[in-house]
Structure 1
Amino acid sequence: MAESRLIQGRYRLLDVIGRGGMGEVWRARDESLGRRVAVKCLKPLAPQQDRSLARVMRERFRREARVAASLQHRGITVVHDFGEHDGVLYLVMELLEGRNLSEVLAGADRARRPMPVTDVEEVADQVAAALAYTHEQGVVHRDLKPANIMRLTDGTVKICDFGIARLGHDIGFTQRLTGTGIAMGTPHYMSPEQISGGYVDHRSDLYSLGCVLYEIATGAPPFDLQDAWAVLVGHRDTPPRPPRRHRADLPPYLERIILDLLAKDPGARLGDARDLVHRIRAGRGGPWPAGTVRRAGRYSGLPPWATGMTTGPKATGTAGRLPLGPDPTPPGAAAGLSGPWTTAPPAAHPEGSGGRPAGGTTGPGPAGTAGTHRTAPRPPAPSAAVAAVLASRHEAGLSLGRLGRWEEAAEVHRAVAAERTRALGRAHPDTLTSRYEAAFSLSRTGRPEAALGEYGDVAAARARVLGADHPDTLAALQETAFELGRLGRHAEAHQVYSAVLAARTRAMGPDHPDTLRCRHNLAFNLSRLGRLEDACRMAAEVAEARARVLGADHPDTLVTQYEVAYVLGLLGHWSKALETYRAVAGARARVLGPDHPDTFAARYEIGISLGRLGRSTEALRLYQGLIDDRSRVDGPLAPETLRARHGLGVNLGRLGRWEEALAEARDVAAIRARVLGPDHPDTLVSRREVAVALGWLGRWPDALPEYRAVAAARARSLGTGHPDTLAAHNDEAHCLEQLGRGPEAVALYRGVAALRQRYAP
């Protein structure tokens, strides 16, 4: 299969990203849908291998496909396809960008260290929620371990590898597999009942999760012995050493949870994973230890509060997709749809109930609502069946969003919001959560005005019901500010960001990650208001604080350092900008990988800085390498590949190689017109570059139609008074001058000046 590199005429294998006992995992491209995927291939049988072993392995592989494909949850790897090609079984899954927990623990120097407490809590929360869903479907994983839990760069923790999972209705199949003598689990994480060959159910997974949490909290598994038999005896007979003896700063509630999970008797463990979710969230909502900085939301690669940070392409490099936030459902309630909702806000709820870190808002909400919690009449609670259906549809909407199908996601969330309005009332938090997600989906489909209106309504309703300073209210407000910024209403966005920042500082302190995230967004917005010195100073302060709280190489620290470099460039300090971009690119390559989109984004900005410093030969080499890497990872027609080609063409011109620059600009402009559309801003930038090259070659008659076409297209798409439209008319006037048509040029210059004065803010 590897020789053909193409499976079933559809999945093109690119490179091996993992090997295990059952086979290899390849990074691949789905040629039909144009997306990257992971393809797991079962190892072919070696001549000396036992045929019965091969049959069992194939059966397990098929089983993994069947079990995993039946599960649809944000915390479980999505399976797209399964089949056989040239005698080799393959499984097509979503491509997970991140590291498994075993790799996270090992670190770059291979010295195993415990994870930060907040990360341990985050992993515990998300894995418990995924297990709760899995167990409710009648599936027991039976091989839960750090290597089978991935922490992704989009803020999600996912369980992988259901190769030996058991379906509750398929015990006979399991017995056939275990009868082969193949180990059903990994010794350091096996439950006592697994070891003794007893009955295994969902409580065995809870024990294995206890082992995982013990290891990520202390740096070593509960029975860290070299001899496998000693490990098994430890699980069976020896009480684990309390984890706080290894690590005194571990919260007592978390130690109690871990020890309860590690009970030898299955009946003495927690009842089920849903109970575990509630215990974790109740513990996290308690008082914070003195001097501890709590981190909100989902952490994985990129941190919980910055995943999908919506500060625009210059601040991030990618638009991340965000996971569902904490499930506010109390024990016994049906999917969060029938519990009480008019109580005071929790003291330390980490994020909005929609689960998306804030990025924008419409305004601070109605005056006089701070601290008010009104008890409104509500419809009777829906039946458990209705609650379950709505919760499932809500989850389906989130899944569509994770797949990038934002139009469909918006429709699902709006439909669920309408149903929840009828069942629960318009101001119920679950109704508002659905409306929040609908707004998020609208934003991703390029409808900022519609998203702005929805976020504004949600923010106002949350302020009335939960209070103006409640984290959910602030989340909706921040999203509104982001949409205001997208619409060019930066002064209004500044007011909202400032109000949210004041509220977050009061509630959480100046160094809380949510506060720092809001300060980052405020700094970004200041640069768009033209307050470059203020923006640079604030971004530098946020970068310093994030380095202190999270570490110098943390992805969120690097996001802010990237913004510092960008503003330095706007201020003309290109040497400092180059130095900062290089530091960011190097750190991102180490932390996220050399092929991560954010690493590529920093490399692109290095090229911009080199060009601005007159070092175009170096810039040319950089862009050529970036084009090669972008083409390999994203394809030759991807917008970011074309952006790198545009940079290459600009620097060819700076080196006086205008014929080559013209050919490159024309080719990029033609591709952008096909891929992005003839009036897309990037297409017009390339057409302007065509005109510039024509002018430098002395072909001004040919340049004039290009300049005029760009000006007309910008007027259509951006408006007659937009700065880019006016700049295009200036280009046109300059071209008229070069053609000796002075009176026409003067008239056009005067018209541009009048429009600037008319549309001045």
Structure 2
Amino acid sequence: MITGRYELSTLIGQGGMGQVWTAYDQRLDRRVAVKLLRPDKVAGQEADELRRRFVRECRVTAQVDHPGLVTVHDAGSEGEELFLVMQYVDGADLADHLAEHDPYPWQWTVSVAAQLCAVLSAVHAVPIIHRDLKPRNVMVKQDGTVTVLDLGVASVMDTDTTRLTHTGSPIGSPAYMAPEQAMGGAVGPYTDLYALGVLIHELLSGNVPFTGSTALGVLHRHLYEPPVPVRRLRPEVPESLEALVLRLLSKDPQHRPSSAQETYEQLLPLLPARGMPTGSPLDPTRPFLRPHAPWPDRARIPAPQPSAAPDPAPAADKPDVAGAVDEVKRLLGEGRITQAVDILGAILPAAAAQHGEHSPVVRTLRKQYAATLMDDGQYRRALPELRRLADERATEAGQADPQALRFRYDSAQCLEQLGEPAAALAEYRSLLPYFENQYVGGDPELSLDVRRRIGHLLLALGDRGAAHETLGRLLLDVERLRGPGHPLAGEVRRTLQWLGQVRG
């Protein structure tokens, strides 16, 4: 029994870090699926930190609204285990489905891939990166619709760099792992698109494009060997589908399709003929005319922002800014971040009207708003707030002001999370001279962190030579300043060892 509510019934899946059970929700009288994870199975991470990130990722995941994602009902910890309560999906996972229908009809492959593009488009708009897309994490339901599992769980287990378990195996699935993810580089939407290419190749050919007797051997082939074009194995596959698979499997992320939306558009001509919807909101014909299509340009639609300050209200109608601030503090203390974000966004225009746009009160609220958005994983909304704060502070106190630099550093983190490695790399590089310059109040700790992030972003952009040089110099400095036993030294050393092995 989990939390006195979920009664475990049947073990339906088991791996190195956890189990999946069918269970019974006693309170709501329904069947659910419960995933149990063991933090002590992950090397190099503190259990309490993993628990905190797990709950945060589950909360962010639960906010993604798409019919192709398994619904998250509950999450938390029970003793030594983390638990995730999900919708029970009646169907077969895609690996079993492929085994039962080998060879898989290419029309089925296109239909599955198009549905996955719609899911990834919604996920990447948050932004969340799945990190472990593979047939075992995709369910085919009785009505033929596809549901994606484990969103956010891989992110908890694998942040910043490729973590190793106690057995020395990389977390994730090497057969589906993009080169930048295998090398510990920054991941983005392009990483999931590579995994999608592997999955499509497997459905069409009956096997993944790269195999080997060891995980390192598989990753080496991902990095250096071209995939076999699927038409050599199945000539009836359309040429356009083969070309798309080869693009998705590009070693360089910049050569892959720009988004899941673009990938869907290339699959669309291969789907059964449908009409185009009018584009009007709430068009009830849309699910029939264009099944499972992602919303056009959804990722580029800005999230609601606080509106411009209205005219001052009469004194009797003035909002209670101080009371709202106290409420936000209480909500944050209880971990109710999403509600705190809503209150801060709503109170900012009123506070600006009451105290002035550039008053200390409003500036403090904006800082809290940006920080809370970042903590809630809403990087797309946090980025313009952080840029505004950075520009205002730099105008007042100069470009080298520590607070202005910190806002820019947080902006670079948002760019990294949003899957814009080139922009993030440029921002980190422009910040580094300030953090290294002791005469303008440099920050040695931030300097080391920025150099680490630069190395990982170079890996993500495919420049392994520059990444090796950057991380090699970083390792020497960390060992000199912090000692060879420092955690950062160990992390960088593992990445360099991995990079050296694969290069060799």
Q: Normalization by structure 2: what TM-score?
A: 0.52
d(CA) in 2 for partners of 1:126, 1:328: 17
Task: Select 1:336's aligned residue among 259, 276, 279.
Answer: 279
- Kept after mapping to 2: 8 A contact 1:139/1:165: no
CA offset digits 1:665-710 (Å, max 9, x no partner): xxxxxxxxxxxxxxxxxxxxxxxxxxxxxxxxxxxxxxxxxxxxxx
SS state at 1:140 partner: coil
1:11 paired to 2:6: yes
Equivalent residue for 1:737? none
The amino acid across from 2:289 in the alignment is S
Equivalent residue for 1:239? 226
- Kept after mapping to 2: 8 A contact 1:191/1:235: yes
Task: Select 1:188's aligned residue among 175, 181, 185.
Answer: 175
- Kept after mapping to 2: 8 A contact 1:75/1:158: yes
CA offset digits 1:83-108 (Å, max 9, x no partner): 2334432211000111111222233x
Equivalent residue for 1:175? 160
The amino acid across from 1:13 in the alignment is L
d(CA) in 1 for partners of 2:298, 2:25: 40
Task: Select 1:22's aligned residue among 4, 17, 20.
Answer: 17
Equivalent residue for 1:84? 77
* 1:70 CA displacement: 2.5
The amino acid across from 2:228 in the alignment is R
How many matched pairs?
A: 296
SS state at 2:288 partner: coil
d(CA) in 1 for partners of 2:243, 2:189: 20
* 1:229 CA displacement: 2.4
Equivalent residue for 1:275? 262
d(CA) in 2 for partners of 1:125, 1:160: 17
1:136 paired to 2:125: yes
d(CA) in 1 for partners of 2:23, 2:289: 35
CA separation of 1:247 and 1:351: change in aligned 2, threshold 3 A: farther
The amino acid across from 1:121 in the alignment is V
Equivalent residue for 1:618? none
d(CA) in 1 for partners of 2:275, 2:196: 20
The amino acid across from 2:151 in the alignment is F
* 1:252 CA displacement: 1.6
- Kept after mapping to 2: 8 A contact 1:142/1:184: no
Equivalent residue for 1:74? 67
Equivalent residue for 2:37? 42
* 1:61 CA displacement: 4.2
1:116 paired to 2:105: yes
* 1:7 CA displacement: 2.5
CA separation of 1:237 and 1:327: change in aligned 2, threshold 3 A: farther
Equivalent residue for 1:94? 87
CA separation of 1:90 and 1:164: change in aligned 2, threshold 3 A: closer
SS state at 2:160 partner: helix
d(CA) in 2 for partners of 1:205, 1:145: 10
CA separation of 1:120 and 1:384: change in aligned 2, threshold 3 A: closer
Task: Select 2:289's aligned residue among 337, 347, 353.
Answer: 353
Equivalent residue for 1:373? none
d(CA) in 2 for partners of 1:79, 1:384: 22
CA separation of 1:33 and 1:388: change in aligned 2, threshold 3 A: farther
* 1:45 CA displacement: 5.2
CA separation of 1:144 and 1:327: change in aligned 2, threshold 3 A: farther
1:157 paired to 2:146: yes
* 1:280 CA displacement: 0.7
Gaps of 5+ in 1: 1-5, 286-295, 297-325, 330-334, 342-348, 357-382, 390-761
Task: Select 2:200's aligned residue among 205, 213, 217.
Answer: 213
- Kept after mapping to 2: 8 A contact 1:100/1:146: yes
d(CA) in 2 for partners of 1:88, 1:135: 28
Alignment of 1:137-536 (within 5 A): 137-166=126-155, 174-175=159-160, 178=163, 183-284=170-271, 328=276, 336-337=279-280, 352-353=288-289
* 1:328 CA displacement: 4.6
Gaps of 5+ in 2: 304-504
SS state at 1:221 partner: coil
Equivalent residue for 1:490? none
SS state at 1:38 partner: strand
Equivalent residue for 2:116? 127
* 1:17 CA displacement: 1.6
The amino acid across from 2:21 in the alignment is W
Equivalent residue for 1:104? 97
d(CA) in 2 for partners of 1:64, 1:183: 20
After the TM superposition, which parts of structure 1 deviate over 6 Å for at least 4 consecutive aligned residues? 179-182
d(CA) in 2 for partners of 1:209, 1:142: 11
d(CA) in 2 for partners of 1:254, 1:221: 16
- Kept after mapping to 1: 8 A contact 2:160/2:185: no
Calculate the aligned-residue CA RMSD, in Å.
3.8
- Kept after mapping to 2: 8 A contact 1:74/1:158: yes
SS state at 1:203 partner: helix
SS state at 2:159 partner: helix
d(CA) in 2 for partners of 1:75, 1:151: 10
Equivalent residue for 2:368? none
d(CA) in 2 for partners of 1:231, 1:102: 19
The amino acid across from 1:224 in the alignment is T
d(CA) in 2 for partners of 1:44, 1:259: 37
